[in-house]
Amino acid sequence: MRYYLVLTYILFFNQIFSQDVQQVEVLKNDKQVTELFDEIGDSEIKLDVIDFLTQPALNIGYEIINDSYSSYGAEAFLNFNDNNATRSWSEKFSLNPFYRFYFFNKTDFGGEGYFAELFIKFANIEYDRNTYFYDALPNEPYIISEEIKAWDIAPGVGVGRKWVNKKGWTFEYMIGVGRYLFTNSGNDDVPDGGSVSDYRPEATFKGGISIGKRF
């Protein structure tokens, strides 16, 4: 008799405990995301601290959170270097519209977590071009060095990670790569007997570490 009584108590308390667990279950939904958008904002301005601290350059971005899964915006890059000692070309200015897809971890804030990015870069670049003429001296060609300035367009992709706190401050890192569409060697401009060493870039890098604020 005692055995059946104890079993009855166990089943009774087990049923009560299961009901309590079901009552405290919390489901996240898009309504919570909308409420937090109203609280901390769905627009964000950010600054790339790597460009700002390591060189005289400024990279400012503006992002609009579309929903929990996507966002769009643009970044503007300004390079204040007179020349670039580490490479033969220099990106002086670029405007970079982008669209992001957030995935892996949907959170209450929206626009947070891992993301993949599609971007297109409109850039003003400077690079070096050396033209060699072999008709002047057979063993020592005559060389003309030029600094070329040009505009180019580079579509690309990138990946990164973003964090957002309850005050609306953000921290992110990303890395991406694109390819310029109008690269050429410049050999068409050289007369017969000459050749060109053109240091115009074919690829472009996009990335950094940024701190921002939503509003």
Alpha helices, DSSP H only, in 45-110? 49-54
d(CA 52, CA 117) in angstroms, rounded, equals 22
What was the pLDDT predicted at 110? Answer: 64
Of 32-41, 76-85, 93-102, 118-127, give the lowest mean pLDDT range: 32-41
More confident of the two residues 53 and 46: 46
> Considering the domain boundaries, does residue 19 fall inside one?
no
More confident of the two residues 24 and 42: 42
Of 88-102, 122-136, 150-164, 201-215, give the lowest mean pLDDT range: 122-136
**8-state DSSP, 192:** T
d(CA 192, CA 131) in angstroms, rounded, equals 12
> Considering the domain boundaries, does residue 131 fall inside one?
yes
Burial degree of 121 (CB within 10 A; 0-12, 13-18, 19+) = buried
- Supply the range of the domain harboring residue 174: 27-214
What CATH number corresponds to the domain at position 160? 2.40.160.20
21 pLDDT above the threshold of 50: no
What was the pLDDT predicted at 191? Answer: 56
Radius of gyration from C-alpha coordinates of the chain = 28
How many domains does the structure of the chain reveal?
Answer: 1
> Considering the domain boundaries, does residue 160 fall inside one?
yes
Give pTM, 2 decimals. Answer: 0.70
87 pLDDT above the threshold of 60: no
> Considering the domain boundaries, does residue 13 fall inside one?
no
d(CA 74, CA 214) in angstroms, rounded, equals 15
> Considering the domain boundaries, does residue 180 fall inside one?
yes
27 pLDDT above the threshold of 50: no
More confident of the two residues 105 and 53: 53
> Considering the domain boundaries, does residue 189 fall inside one?
yes
What was the pLDDT predicted at 208? Answer: 92
- Span 61-70, average pLDDT: 90
> Considering the domain boundaries, does residue 174 fall inside one?
yes
> Considering the domain boundaries, does residue 129 fall inside one?
yes
What was the pLDDT predicted at 187? Answer: 53
β-bridge pairing 113-133 and 89-103: antiparallel
Token code pair at residue 195:
């050749």
- What pLDDT digit, counting tens, does each position of 162-191 carry? 998 888 899 999 999 999 998 665 555 555
- What pLDDT digit, counting tens, does each position of 109-152 carry? 567 889 999 999 999 988 877 777 766 555 666 777 778 888 99
